[in-house]
Structures are given as structure tokens and as C-alpha cells.
Structure 1
Amino acid sequence: MTDLKRTQLFSAFDENENVKHGLPSAAYTSKDFYELESKLVFAKSWTFVGFAHDLAQVGDITPLEVAGQPLILVRSSKNKIRAFHNVCRHRNLKLVDKPRNCKSLITCPYHNWCYNLDGQLRAAPFFGGQKTELPKDFKLKEHGLLEVPCELFHDWIFVNLNCDTVSFESHLAPLRKQLAGIDLDDFVVVVSIEFGEIKTNWKLLMENFIEPYHVQFVHKNTTNQPLVDHYVVSDGHCLGSAVDLTSEQQEQAQEG
């Protein structure tokens, strides 16, 4: 990135890194800016990547990408979801290209190297000549998949490419504070809305979902809440938007 571009892109911030005004358009369209975000934001923090209910059965596996890094999520046991780099340790081929159930083994489609759901290499057929023979000093246990820190908060899955960043509990503290008193274990998945791949910058989607200003105009047929009842939830940084329900609406929600 040239000094000129850097100056233009960061002109929205003052010397103390406070936002002076809205981000420039290049922050939503510049490949250089996105690469900086990937390097300085997504690769250095806990990132939400999906829902545990989408990996309901042991062996359910799905590919994803974080900060340009190909990863996989797999349910390795009833109560454990793991994340690994989606790369075979042999010739770096991508292991998984679509969501599926891999049963008990993650198998490379190139040379059939097999890993169990904990990422351990279980077989490297014909690697030493004969079917089960291995080269001298080659140990299966030293060539497992590279694991990425992965944590669950109720149904939400988070991964972290940087092991030196803040702990998951520290990262989650503002959210826990806002949700105190709400028993999330009572929540059940009723329906999923699949938007598919939306070809836009990630910030446009986030800004849309965390601001309530548009609700009464865009969603007037799905809500009768006046604009004054909508507000932004902030605790050091923006956590989202909310609306206070009337007593009648709360009763209707409890009745289903």
C-alpha cells in the first residue's frame, strides 16, 4: 500500500485512533484495505464462524475461510467441535470442499492420507512402498492436522488464528455482561434463514444489522415498533441493536 493510499484510507481517524467521520469509500472497495483488516483484525482476534447446531452429528464437517486461511470445523465428539487448517500435511491439498459427514475419518482425496476427528494422522498408505509400510523415522503422530483454537459460547462457534491474543473469556466479557440474566440454554433453533453468498464488503452487512435506524422504513410490514423504541447497544464498542418489547408482546412471545 502506498503512503498516499494509506493516508486516504486512514483519514477517518484522528491521531488517537478515534473515528472523526464515516469511513472513506475505499474502506469498502479497496483490496489493500481488506488485506489489512484480515491481517490486523481477523487474524489477531476471536472470530465468530458458525453455529454448533449446523454440526449436529459426530463427523459433520464444513470448510470455511478466515483471514484468507482455509479452515475446517468438525464435530469430533458429542460435546466437542474442533477447527483445523484445511490442508493435508503431505502435499498441502485442500481436504474438504463442501459440508458433509465424514464419519470417523478425514481423508485426503490426493494420496488417501487419513486423519481421525481429533486431527491425528491414522494412515499414509503406500508412503513407504508397501501398503502399511512407512519411511524410516516417519511417525504418524508427528504429522497430524494443524489445529486452530476453537471455543463454543452456547450455540456460537469462535476460532482464533493468533494464540497470543486475549483469552476467549476476556474477549467474551462485554457480551456476557449484556446477556446477564438471560438463560441461553433455554433457546432452541426454530428456523434458519440462508442468504447464500452475498457479494459485498463485510462491513456493509454488519453496519446494517447493528443500526436500527432503517427498521421502521424497510421492515414496516414485519414490525410495529416505533423508531423511538430501537437503540444501539454499546459497551466500549458497538455490540448490536435492540428493541424493547411491550408487556403484551412479551406475553405473546412466551406463548409462542
Structure 2
Amino acid sequence: MSAIEKLPEDFCANPDVAWTFPKVFYTSSQVFEHEKEAIFAKSWICVAHGSELAQPNDYITRKVIGENIVIIRGKDSVLRAFYNVCPHRGHELLSGSGKAKNVITCPYHAWTFKLDGSLALARNCDHVESFDKENSSMVPLKVEEYAGFVFINMDENATCVEDQLPEFAERLNQACSVIKDLKLAARFVTETPANWKVIVDNYLECYHCGPAHPGFADSVQVDKYWHTTHDQYLSDAEKASQKSMMICVSRAKGKKLILDL
């Protein structure tokens, strides 16, 4: 990574002289592996709307940079997130989304876990020498309800979402004051055969809106469609109406890189 870790010295954010990342940043598997650890594994990732996990025993599963994650609302109404694998032999514990039973049972060896992640029962292990029940719980990761959405973070040292995205909740509420009261109507997943930064780059300008999205271009004043850079996220707004959308960004080794939520 040492040969491609640093951006060129003349790389800058001045739109009058700026240019895109060198192509290796979009094509190198080595760069992508670095990004997964330096960006995605250390950032708050939006995984759901709060309405998807509103009631006790509600759960969802997500894949984030190849990691299988389960987020579940306990019987005590506390929201928790875990790696969705049994600590015994690594079998997937839950799939899809829905209403969990009062215990989570591994399909492989039938170890059972409480909804707080603690081990409830390990069959035939009572007399196993040195078996440590206290250290056989599901592995947790950080989760936070913020601005009507649910965020997870794989970094155990991460601070709160607000620290990463200051005033994001306030701006989101300004854009949609009933955001917390909304209900999920539908969810679909699209797999795009492109580097993630290409997709985000597309949302960073409306230069392409007229040719590529004539319907959208007719609905806004493209010449007044502004992108505002905050510390770690971007907001888009049509200047006349102040209708806004936001895309989050994160930092990697002191460099600001785009992270689409």
C-alpha cells in the first residue's frame, strides 16, 4: 500500500484546478482492501430505518464489507448488534429479517443465546474441562439509533454518530421533519459492477443531470442545484427551494474520502 497510499501533492478540492483520483484508486483490489479496513470498518454505517426494529424481538440481518451482521431489539427493548455467527463453529445464526424467538438457536449444534447475546445453553458442555460459558457469547459491535435510523460501527473504540456526522440529524430533520415517524414501505438491493467511489462520484455533481436525467432536470433548477461540503458529509440542495439530500463521508488516515450511506 505504501506506493499508492498518498494522494499526489497537487491533489486538492479547489474546483478550478481539481482533478479526479488516479485510476488505481478505482481499480486496485489492494486499495479496496485498505478502504474496507480504514473506512468502512471504522465508520458508522446506516443499516435500517428505526421502524424496522420498533418492537421487542424484531431483527434484521445485513452484510457489511463481507461481515454478516444481525441487529435485534431485545425483550428489554434495548437495540443490540452482533456478528451473525455462532462463536462455537461459525455457523450463521439468523437469516433475513422478522420476529425472533425468545432465544436464538444455532442450526448446527443447537447452542442457544439470549437476545442480549449471552450464551443460554451449550448442549453437553457442562462437564467439558475449561469450558468458559462467560466468554462464549455472541460477539457484539456498536449500534446507535440516530435521526430515525439505525447505524452500526465495527470499531469498538468509535465514538457516537454525532461526533462523526455533526449536525447531520438537525439537517435531516430540516429536510424531512417526520423522518422518525415514517415506515419502511419497501426495500431492494442493487449490486452494481463498479467501484463504490464511481457510484458516489455520480452523486457529487449535477453536471450530468440534463443529458442523463431529463425528467429530474425538468423538476429542479439545475443551475441552482448546490452541493455543500460539511466536515464529513455532503448536502445537496436546490438553492431556491432548499430541498435537500445528504451523503456521508468518512476519513482515512487524514484524507477525506466519500462514503455512501
Residue correspondence of structure 1 range 132-171 to structure 2 within 5 A: 134-135=127-128, 138=131, 140-171=133-164
Q: What's the CA shift for 1:225?
A: 1.3
Out of 190, 194, 203, the position equivalent to 1:196 is 190
- Specify the SS of the correspondent of 2:162: helix
- Specify the SS of the correspondent of 1:92: coil
Contact 1:76 1:82 (C-alpha < 8 Å) held by counterparts? yes
Which position in structure 1 is the counterpart of 2:256? none
Provide the C-alpha distance between the structure 2 equivalents of 1:168 and 1:59, rounded to a whole number of angstroms.
24
Q: Residues 174 and 232 from structure 1, CA distance in 2 versus in 1: closer, same or farther, beyond 3 angstroms?
A: same
TM-score (normalizing by structure 1): 0.76
Q: What's the CA shift for 1:138?
A: 4.0
Deviations for 1:131-153, whole angstroms, at most 9, x for unmatched residues? xxx53564544421111010011
Contact 2:221 2:238 (C-alpha < 8 Å) held by counterparts? no
Provide the C-alpha distance between the structure 2 equivalents of 1:217 and 1:80, rounded to a whole number of angstroms.
48
Residue correspondence of structure 1 range 59-208 to structure 2 within 5 A: 59-77=57-75, 79-128=77-126, 134-135=127-128, 138=131, 140-176=133-169, 178-179=171-172, 183-184=177-178, 187-189=181-183, 191-192=185-186, 194-208=188-202
Which position in structure 2 is the counterpart of 1:14? 9
Provide the C-alpha distance between the structure 2 equivalents of 1:163 and 1:170, rounded to a whole number of angstroms.
15
RCO higher in structure (CA 8 A, sep ≥6)? 2
Which position in structure 2 is the counterpart of 1:231? 226
Contact 1:211 1:240 (C-alpha < 8 Å) held by counterparts? no
Q: How large is the RMSD of aligned CA atoms in angstroms?
A: 3.1
**Amino acid corresponding to residue 41 of structure 1 in structure 2:** I
Provide the C-alpha distance between the structure 2 equivalents of 1:164 and 1:246, rounded to a whole number of angstroms.
40
Larger displacement relative to structure 2 (204-213 or 186-195): 186-195
Contact 1:56 1:75 (C-alpha < 8 Å) held by counterparts? yes
Q: What's the CA shift for 1:56?
A: 4.2
Contact 2:86 2:106 (C-alpha < 8 Å) held by counterparts? yes
Q: Residues 210 and 55 from structure 1, CA distance in 2 versus in 1: closer, same or farther, beyond 3 angstroms?
A: farther
Q: Residues 241 and 71 from structure 1, CA distance in 2 versus in 1: closer, same or farther, beyond 3 angstroms?
A: same
Q: What's the CA shift for 1:21?
A: 2.5
**Amino acid corresponding to residue 171 of structure 1 in structure 2:** Q
Unaligned runs of 5+ in 1: 129-133, 250-256
- Specify the SS of the correspondent of 1:221: helix
- Specify the SS of the correspondent of 1:207: helix
Which position in structure 2 is the counterpart of 1:215? 209
Deviations for 1:201-222, whole angstroms, at most 9, x for unmatched residues? 2222222234333334333224
**Amino acid corresponding to residue 208 of structure 1 in structure 2:** N
Q: What's the CA shift for 1:176?
A: 3.8
Deviations for 1:183-217, whole angstroms, at most 9, x for unmatched residues? 45565247445243333322222222343333343
Residue correspondence of structure 1 range 48-63 to structure 2 within 5 A: 48-63=46-61
Q: Residues 30 and 245 from structure 1, CA distance in 2 versus in 1: closer, same or farther, beyond 3 angstroms?
A: same
Q: Percent identity?
A: 25
Provide the C-alpha distance between the structure 2 equivalents of 1:219 and 1:231, rounded to a whole number of angstroms.
17
> How many pairs does the alignment contain?
237
Contact 2:103 2:113 (C-alpha < 8 Å) held by counterparts? yes
Which position in structure 1 is the counterpart of 2:246? none
Unaligned runs of 5+ in 2: 244-261
Provide the C-alpha distance between the structure 2 equivalents of 1:73 and 1:157, rounded to a whole number of angstroms.
9
Which position in structure 1 is the counterpart of 2:247? none
Provide the C-alpha distance between the structure 2 equivalents of 1:170 and 1:122, rounded to a whole number of angstroms.
36
Deviations for 1:47-71, whole angstroms, at most 9, x for unmatched residues? 2223222334432333323344332
Larger displacement relative to structure 2 (107-116 or 214-223): 214-223
Q: Residues 186 and 166 from structure 1, CA distance in 2 versus in 1: closer, same or farther, beyond 3 angstroms?
A: closer
Provide the C-alpha distance between the structure 1 equivalents of 2:97 and 2:58, rounded to a whole number of angstroms.
7
TM-score (normalizing by structure 2): 0.75
